[in-house]
Amino acid sequence: MDTKLGNYLDERFGWRGVWAAIFLRKIPHVNWLYTLGSATLFVATLQIVTGILLTMYYVPTPDHAYDSVTYITTQLPAGWFIRGLHHWGASAMVVLTVLHLLRVFFYGAYKYPREVTWSTGVLLLLVVVGFGFTGYLLPWDQKAFWATTVGTRIIAVAPGIGPWLLRVARGGDELSAVTLARFFGVHVWVLPAALLALLLIHMYLVIRNGISAVPERKE
Amino acid sequence: MEPSSTVDASPKEISRRQFMSAAIAAMGGLIGAALGLPAIAYIIGPALTKKTENWVRLGAVSKVETGTPTLFKTTVQRQTGWIADQQEIAVYVLTEDGQKYVAMSNICTHLGCRVRWIAEQERFFSPCHNGVFDKDGNVVSGPPPRPLDRFETKIEDGVLYIRTV
Ligand code: FES
């Protein structure tokens, strides 16, 4: 954007400085494993886009959830494609996040001064797992229903307050309309908000502290 | 194929950076299109489904009063998205001679409020923006841009049918 418009906007936004800080920063000589973070970010973006598209038709109530999902996959043009991306993207998110974490762990990249980047990263892993868990219920088919029955039941194992926590998670004793609605709410509001907030800190720190070099075998 | 002699004699040097920028932009564009085009189809999908017209039974022709629009109500089964339900449609039927029947929609041609026949004033009134129609459905006053819509009609065994979606 070496154009007039680019200059006009740069005078007002200073976007060239921002661009340079994000994309033109110096990085050490690294390898392909260092792309795992970006890959995770890419799939996360894909999940946000396809997720927003799915909410255009999906209805989180027991009497319409399954029918609306069927409508998306069988009646709408490219509905199978959008849902397919979101479905497989969910698995890809978990796999990529864990691989990214392993790379950071084995390269010792979590050490000073990057401890906070690491902590937000671990929290992001929890968010991703939360997305997977809550999203799994939404199609409201047999697999979703029983997987969530079993999954939430695990909470009850916690000593003392376990059974009470289970009631909170389900919004009652059994899986019901309340469960579906709250899982949906957590999936599309609570977790995305947490994801964006943590991601912002995570990315800011990556840019501020730079990325670590590949550790070398010398001393 | 072009003969190879047309290849630029002094090829412009492309730097590694320029090449990478172009490649990234191209891949980004490709991914954007691969997601964007299906997304558009997905969103406009419901608007593309074709409506099928059917003959809908209104009732006995004998119920139509000569010279004054008579209201018929009927329900049609409709599939909208993932929900199948009954929708009520209301139609005013007018005949002057008991031979020709005119079936008019009660949907105001302005913005879709439902018009009502007020017998004392011999007019259809739309409650929303004071649209007024005469008994043939022509606009008398107010904002409606055209007369009330009419349905194709047929009579079989003394029963009146209209063609609608
Ligand atoms: S909708 Fe009938 S006058 Fe506006």
How is B19-31 classified by DSSP, letter by letter? HHHHHHHHHHHHH
In a domain, B158, yes or no: yes
Q: For residue A64, list chain B residues with Cβ-Cβ distance below 8 A.
A: 82-83
C-alpha torsion angle, residues A69, A74, A76, A79 (rounded to 10): 70
Mean pLDDT of chain B: 90
Q: Give the residue, B52 or A5, on which the prediction is more confident.
A: A5
10-residue mean pLDDT series, chain A (219 residues): 86 93 91 96 98 98 97 96 98 98 96 96 98 98 96 95 96 96 98 98 96 85
The answer, yes or no, to whether residue B116 has pLDDT greater than 60, is yes
Q: Give the residue, B1 or B66, on which the prediction is more confident.
A: B66
Closest-lying ligand 1 atom to the alpha carbon of residue B130: 3
Q: Is the peptide bond before A113 cis (omega within 30 degrees of 0)?
A: yes
Q: Do B35 and A77 touch (CB under 8 A)?
A: no
Q: How many domains is chain B built from? A: 2
Same domain, B43 and B103: no
Percent with pLDDT over 70 in chain A:
99
Going from N- to C-terminal start, the domains of chain A cover 30-209
In a domain, B3, yes or no: no
Quote the pLDDT of residue A219: 64
Quote the pLDDT of residue B11: 65
Quote the pLDDT of residue B8: 53
Quote the pLDDT of residue A17: 93
In a domain, B135, yes or no: yes
In a domain, B34, yes or no: yes
Mean pLDDT across B83-107: 92
C-alpha gyration radius of chain B: 29
CA–centroid distance, residue B116 to ligand 1 (Å): 12
Same domain, B96 and B18: no
In a domain, B72, yes or no: yes
Same domain, B45 and B60: no
Give the list of residues 6+ apart from residue B97 with CB closer than 8 angstroms, or none.
Answer: B66
Same domain, B45 and B67: no
Q: Structure pTM?
A: 0.88
Q: pLDDT band at B1, cuts 50/70/90? A: very low
CA distance A200 to A164: 34
- Count the Cβ atoms, other than its own, within 10 Å of residue B32: 10
Mean pLDDT across B137-158: 94
In a domain, B104, yes or no: yes
Task: Give residue B113's identity as a one-letter amino acid code.
Answer: C
Mean pLDDT across B48-73: 90
The answer, yes or no, to whether residue B50 has pLDDT greater than 90, is no
Structure tokens at A52: 């927003």
In a domain, B71, yes or no: yes
Q: Do A64 and B83 touch (CB under 8 A)?
A: yes
In a domain, B74, yes or no: yes
Which residue range forms the structural domain that includes residue B133? 54-164
Q: What does the DSSP 8-state code read for residue B44?
A: H
A59 touches chain B (CB under 8 A): yes
CA distance A118 to A110: 5
The answer, yes or no, to whether residue B98 has pLDDT greater than 50, is yes
Task: Give residue B57's identity as a one-letter amino acid code.
Answer: R
> Domain A30-209 sits in which CATH superfamily?
Cytochrome Bc1 Complex; Chain C (1.20.810.10)
Same domain, B89 and B141: yes
What is the distance of C-alpha A19 from the center of its chain? 24
